[in-house]
Amino acid sequence: MQQDHTEEFIPYIVEARPDTGLYNAKFGIWLFLASEVMLFGSLFSAYILLRVGSFSWPVQSEIQNVLIGAINSVVLLTSSIFFIQAWVALKADDIPKYKRFMALVITFAFIFLILKGVEYYQHFSHGEFPKTSVFLGLYFLMTGLHALHIIGGILVNIYYIGPGMYLRSINKQWFINRVEVAGLYWHFVDLVWIFLFSTLYLL
């Protein structure tokens, strides 16, 4: 095992800062998530204003595949539960279990993307494109941006069951903290989907 001198050079990567009560990465991810709230918030704001300002608006549930949207909600939520279990296993030093649950998280994320792809395909085959209407423009923009976040999350999760595990050999707690931070991001992506589903499919 390598000697851990990292904490000597970069403080608070494992231990919490006395003033904030958080280690660096956790403080960083919460600031990042705050900026993400702004990003998606501006799009929700645009949605509300454009809808209020429009003479007509489609009945969204009639042009959307609500069933796939609802299934995707369950898929993402299930992946969140798996992520918590992966993190618990990692804390218990049960690496095979950690990898199994992380693999499930990644699998469910891919299922989400496949279902999203099916939805997009259905829209395109009906001649519904982003340029077709204001609603569809917003729908593709917001769900597309969310899908990019899912892809980003998948890459991070793959990293943490693959090459990123080298960190564990340097400092176990450091690695556990990194996975916790990735988990916070993953739950946030799930949280955004709750609003996207209710706003773009049901209202």
Binding region for another protein (CB under 8 A): 16, 20-22, 27, 30-31, 34, 37-38, 41-42, 44-45, 48-50, 52-55, 61, 66, 70, 73-74, 77-78, 80-81, 84-85, 87-88, 91-92, 134, 180, 183-184, 187-188, 190-191, 194-195, 197-199, 201-203
The CA-based diameter of the chain, rounded to the nearest angstrom, is 67
Least separation in angstroms between CB 79 and another protein:
11
Q: Where are the alpha helices (DSSP H) in 92-171?
A: 95-125, 134-161, 166-170
Q: Give the separation between CA 138 and CA 85, rounded to whole angstroms.
A: 35
Q: Give the separation between CA 176 and CA 14, rounded to whole angstroms.
A: 9
Q: Give the separation between CA 34 and CA 54, rounded to whole angstroms.
A: 30
4 versus 180: smaller Cβ distance to another protein: 180
Least separation in angstroms between CB 52 and another protein:
6
91 versus 99: smaller Cβ distance to another protein: 91
